[in-house]
Structure 1
Amino acid sequence: MTIDTTKKIESLIITDQEICTLAMDVIESIRQDFNNVYYKFLGGELKVLWSNQNKFNAKASSSGDLKSPPDHSVTLYYATAIRIYRDGEDLYDFVSSRLNKYSDLFEKLNLGEPSCLFKDLEKEHFVKNFFFSGLTYLFGHEIGHLVQEHSYIRRFFCDSDRNLNASGEASEIEEIEEIEASASSKQLTRRQSLIWHVTELAADHEAITWCLFELVRQAQEEESIKFSQDDWHRLKENTLIFSCAASCVHFRFNGVKAVYPDEFPIGTHPHPMLRIEKNVFQIISGLEFFSTALGINSSKAEISKYINKGVISANIFWIEKYFDKNDLDSGLLMLGGVINNENTKKYMGLIVNEWEIIRECVESIKRYKPFNAGNQDLGLMFFDENFKKEFTK
């Protein structure tokens, strides 16, 4: 996969058509990489379709036949690509001109002055990287569903003998559709909702792992043998932008509806703040791992402060734009506030226990594993023992 941060946008003024062209170029590059590296050796194919429907949506489709070569496709929407780009423009303008009024909050969180967050980033550079990061994360999430065969997992583990597609009808081609996060008419039992939520979080994890490895590869100068401090600075900067983009994508898919945590999984998708927090923990842990592996002296505390500052800024941007301003004063804004909420402690306990059951099946049917460290597939969601003890008391 390639997150191409070298593409040149000639002007800050860019048309919707130009955005769509950029989107198709970067996604086609990723699709070709996946077909050349993985699918052709399995005798299968990954296809990408683009829709003109005016929806913020993405969809993964699979034949669901584990005995045949993988027949996978991802449907993306031009309207989604355009919206991601415009959200990047709006976030940059918000941070540059209006984030300062939250200085007291940033001071309380020991995150420093908010105004300096993007001070070294030109708008063109930020928006370009935000766009490619958000689009690639979205595509990576759909790939996560496909590579882990989530359509099969949902059918196998749910109390239903019929294959549910996005409309709830039986289908030979199994589909997983992201618009369900905000506009689903699908009625799921509590058991089905739990399986849906677990697989959504698992797809997030696969996508984050994938994108972090690509961000590391992109950060290093081609001529250099050793990862330098300049490379590390570039990696941190691009990961900050990636974290902001992924957060905005989750908010955008949730739609303009409540972000408060639930005690039990409801509907098809977890609420965005929980997904954002879990992603940030994974991103920070990933950067800490790379810092050590690449010989860079950067502490977890330093990395956490840097990434948290960016994501909290993106959260403020979204909540101020679409929600009750009182939400800005709640623990839901803070990283650590959602997962430590009493409702979501119960929720996460259910997720952890169910994933322990599902994980073994996913491992057995996953046909390609892009990221292995020894015998561990880094793309598979993982909860350490301390986390398990905290949320499964």
Structure 2
Amino acid sequence: MILLSRTDHEIYELANRVLTDITEKMSNGLYKRLNGTLSFGWATAPKFNAWAESKTFVGGPPQHKIFLHYELARILYRDAEGFCTFALDSQTEHLINTTFGDNATDPLPECFTLDDCINNMFLASLTWVYFHELGHLMQEHGRVRGSPTPDKYTIQELDAHAANILTGLQASISHATELAADFEATTQCLMASAQHFLRGPLVDESDGAEVFIGNVYLLTCSLACIFYRFNAGSTACAEIPVTGSHPNPIYRLEVAAPHIYEFSEILLKATGFDRGRNRLVSMTKQAADLGSFFCNYKRSTGTEETIHLFVKGFLQRPEFKLYSREIITIWDKIYPDISTARHFGSELGIMHFTEDYRKFVFSE
């Protein structure tokens, strides 16, 4: 296949066009109805970074801004190129077949061309980052975290690399709210994908489900790249006491994966499609694992040393037990304030942990 790569300038133009369009629609829709404002801007410093800014006062309409760095857009696109090339490599095909066996699916969705896969993965990751920042703003996480300037709350995604590493309660709240913003972003992206592809204007009605599933697969692949990029490639397990501002990438994937296949199943059934839960689960797992593998050991020939990078499900991860106990405890404590402050959004965008997992986490 011939890869039609975009120039950096073309990447910036595409990213700006897409995110400006989203901002204008939300500004003229939801935010206008709430008497609020939403704006978007770019930063030129060569950093993989994004941030959210709120000037909302308690009880008032939302006053929100989102900023992304051009460098973030460029790297997201190059990661999409690199991943799609990696996915079609013969060694990757061998990895998929030996690791996933009968549950293996195509390394890239057959409903898309290679260029479609790159563009769709890029757009999925770009809009997910945007919606992650919006998630912080929707729930007013800056207010929950506290701020030295109470008239303006700013959340930087590169806080993990700040000179003063967060510890104690501040770190726990930061980790919990990052996961909550992940949850909002994933919900928003899946809803947007459903609007476009499930009986939407871009596909024939009979093709909608497969195109939607293909796009969900690419979104899941991209999340591993995003999580590792924002965490400087850290692969450490979740630990107690909690430190820093962001959870480790695998923990974030463990939260995101079940939300993706559960909400995708809801959206498919709501539009008259049923592609089977088992297929959605195995597809999501492969996408998350492949993305994680690409970020860390794409030149490795075995899985023995990388098994800790693969999604297994929380009940199979006792090493996350104490960390999860802290996250759930903090989330339950701050959720009433977040629920009151949340400006809009589906209830399905609110992070939750199942009763079975809660019992597991709090058992001795």
Same fold (TM over 0.5): yes
Query: For residues 303 and 230 of structure 2, what CA distance do their matches in structure 1 show?
Result: 19
Alignment partner of 1:129 out of 103, 120, 124: 120
1:139 aligns with 2:133: no
TM-align CA RMSD: 2.5
Deviates more, 1:346-355 or 1:286-295: 286-295
Q: Any idea what the Cα deviations from partners look like across 1:25-60, whole Å, max 9, x if unmatched? A: 000011011111121222221111101100000000
- The CA deviation at 1:147 is 0.6
Contact 2:36 2:61 (8 Å CA) reproduced: yes
Query: For residues 200 and 230 of structure 2, what CA distance do their matches in structure 1 show?
Result: 36
User: Mapping of 1:164-313 within 5 angstroms?
Assistant: 164=148, 170=149, 172-181=151-160, 183-222=161-200, 228-313=205-290
Which residue matches 1:352? Answer: 328
Deviating beyond 6 angstroms after TM superposition, the runs of 4 or more aligned structure 1 residues are 324-327
Aligned to 2:65, the other structure's residue is in SS state strand
Alignment partner of 2:103 out of 90, 111, 118: 111
- The CA deviation at 1:221 is 4.0
Contact 2:104 2:282 (8 Å CA) reproduced: no
Query: For residues 28 and 360 of structure 2, what CA distance do their matches in structure 1 show?
Result: 42
Query: For residues 70 and 132 of structure 1, what CA distance do their matches in structure 2 show?
Result: 26
Which residue matches 1:160? Answer: none
Q: Which segments of 5 or more consecutive residues in structure 2 lack a partner in the other structure?
A: none
User: Mapping of 1:24-63 within 5 angstroms?
Assistant: 24-63=16-55
Which residue matches 2:294? Answer: 317
TM-score, scaled to structure 1: 0.85
- The CA deviation at 1:20 is 0.3
Which residue matches 1:336? Answer: 312
> Identity percentage over the alignment?
27
When residues 13 and 299 of structure 1 are mapped into structure 2, their CA distance, relative to the original with a 3 A threshold, is closer
User: Mapping of 1:143-158 within 5 angstroms?
Assistant: 143-155=134-146
Aligned to 1:72, the other structure's residue is in SS state strand
When residues 331 and 103 of structure 1 are mapped into structure 2, their CA distance, relative to the original with a 3 A threshold, is closer
- The CA deviation at 1:296 is 1.9
Alignment partner of 2:68 out of 73, 76, 79: 76
Query: For residues 266 and 59 of structure 2, what CA distance do their matches in structure 1 show?
Result: 37
Contact 1:320 1:328 (8 Å CA) reproduced: no
Which residue matches 1:383? Answer: 353
TM-score, scaled to structure 2: 0.91
Aligned to 1:267, the other structure's residue is in SS state coil
Aligned to 1:354, the other structure's residue is in SS state helix
When residues 136 and 47 of structure 1 are mapped into structure 2, their CA distance, relative to the original with a 3 A threshold, is same
Q: Any idea what the Cα deviations from partners look like across 1:62-116, whole Å, max 9, x if unmatched? A: 12422433221111000000000000000011111141342464246x4337x65
- The CA deviation at 1:273 is 0.8
When residues 327 and 273 of structure 1 are mapped into structure 2, their CA distance, relative to the original with a 3 A threshold, is farther
Contact 1:149 1:366 (8 Å CA) reproduced: yes
Contact 2:314 2:357 (8 Å CA) reproduced: no
Q: Which segments of 5 or more consecutive residues in structure 1 lack a partner in the other structure?
A: 1-10, 156-162, 165-169, 372-376
Contact 1:216 1:235 (8 Å CA) reproduced: yes
| Richer in helix (by share) | 2
Aligned residues, how many?
A: 360
Query: For residues 127 and 33 of structure 2, what CA distance do their matches in structure 1 show?
Result: 23
Deviates more, 1:55-64 or 1:259-268: 259-268
Query: For residues 201 and 178 of structure 2, what CA distance do their matches in structure 1 show?
Result: 39
Which residue matches 1:100? Answer: 93
Alignment partner of 1:87 out of 79, 82, 94: 79
Aligned to 2:12, the other structure's residue is in SS state helix
Query: For residues 218 and 79 of structure 2, what CA distance do their matches in structure 1 show?
Result: 12
Query: For residues 233 and 266 of structure 2, what CA distance do their matches in structure 1 show?
Result: 36
Contact 2:224 2:295 (8 Å CA) reproduced: no
